[in-house]
Structure 1
């Protein structure tokens, strides 16, 4: 923990990879315009607002450094430095990296979810499945739902964080995953987060995937999967002591207090604070100007993808849908400041900009048009266009 900013293995890996990618860019002068614009014209001005606000109001470093990392350093490392290097990574290799990581997170989460029901305890491995500062404190992180159930947290320490990360990765993972059992376990894991934000966002992403063509609603397998997920949901609901009325909480889980405390200004309040409702935090902390700037920064990659939709392959379309899924979840519980939420969002933006696998791509090289999206499989999911 540095100035209340959690230094995880993921952040260290991003820093190392970003530094190596930056050296490669300097050597080969291989830059992409769109991520530079998103970073330089949108994210960095937001980071500058954080810095000037901190100087103006004499904020302690722990109250503003994490925001400069989120809005400044991470976009530089991921969007500017790492994005061009994705052109040199085969889609098959991405799949081989992403599939086992998500499978592990799903299995570990489901194992502990069931274990807690019978033993009232979970298994933690410090430095691997839990941060050392969080060891033994998972139950205190708003993860208990009832006497019987705890939110599925997996390696993310909080059910809502796990849920929003999996929602973002859902289109990309389902694009890569060809095993029905793993897809089913993935959906069950999201349901077991016991997070209404995750549930509603999952439905939103499902609809977006249908509109994008990644899921074909005329396929029997799709409706079998939907029915199975609904059955799991019906089993969990009474265990929570909930009825259908509990699904819609007019207090937004206590978050309505944020709206009552909202003070709309041009450049925001003296404090910088982004709680669960991300858009409230952006408006309260940075004012109308900062909110518009932040929305433009978050939506730039999505807009780029939608404007070039006809040229995108299946993976890039899945990344657009995943980024849209985060924007939906951010209206309820975006967990922006908690790792690895925002790095995953930036990674999806980087995937949107990825034109394909070009191992010898250089300055001035003409890139061929990406392949057409593949036809749907019998279960409604497209064949991943993964070169072997």
Structure 2
């Protein structure tokens, strides 16, 4: 039975702070119900929404086959999802800035753009989902810790990566005590047990995959097991569940970009799941049902926008081939054109790695693309030469803007969060 645990906070802070920040207080930490063995009953409408979401995710995977052969769509959507996940937590960085920082990193330069470096860490962590959990494989506490470690690697909080908190944390209010907090997660001593229950729940196939992903995400955010990076890790867990269930194996729909757009509804729906009392109560059931319905809608919307982006990129890619002229199948130029949507800012070295051809062959291919005005030379880092496909970056910007529109159309509903300007 979910309940509030009354605890006392005794401040040990020195003077120099306000009396409010130095004060002690009684506060209530929330202890959620375990998930294993819990019954979930959905309204007919929510059940239909879940079914539609699963069909949309499955269709996206099937229809992306042509592009996924070179991992184009999978990689660009992974970048979109990772950026969106970071934006929910306040890490904002534009696509071109992020891509140039990524190119500089590939050249071995020390990161000077701290925000971009943290978002790149988020992308690395999301990419690690595919390595840590395969179809039918268990989701473990260790795999969650590894995702979190990768998330914080290279950031100012890297020392805390992959470590379960041993102190009380809280959300909102003062940064010095939980006295005025909006929400206080479970006490640290119960976190390991709750995480073990969460992972056991994730390994049960009794619920639809979208329902399981929604419930797992909500429970993870409630537990808040880390000092920082809980939101991003919790959203990576969504993809771990969908991949384990075989629903989103290679193509990750950018759900976090929709949740970022619907941030007010997202946070309100999560908060409503913090019921007190029995999981079988009507209040608990209604709150859980509403959260699952919102999550299913976000999945469906993400898939629709991603599918539209795929179609746009296919048209753009066909235009590149026409602009370049005759291209020998399997050549460095052919391979580079096929992976360019996923790597719109590259160096000769990364072009060689992406195409699987020699540096010399990649350099010649890049030269052809510059001549055809598919690529243009730019500078990344201090004085390093790189090349960017402006058309691809603009297409990605349009996707970003569309995903930031509540109605999916910036002409009728402007973006609700900061996005790049219209190309």
User: Is the shorter-chain TM-score for this pair beyond 0.5, marking a shared fold?
Assistant: no
Q: Which has the higher helix share?
A: 1
Bigger radius of gyration among the two: 2
After TM superposition, the score normalised by the length of structure 2 is 0.26
Q: Which has the higher contact order (CA 8 A, sep 6+)?
A: 1
Q: Which has the higher strand share?
A: 2
After TM superposition, the score normalised by the length of structure 1 is 0.27
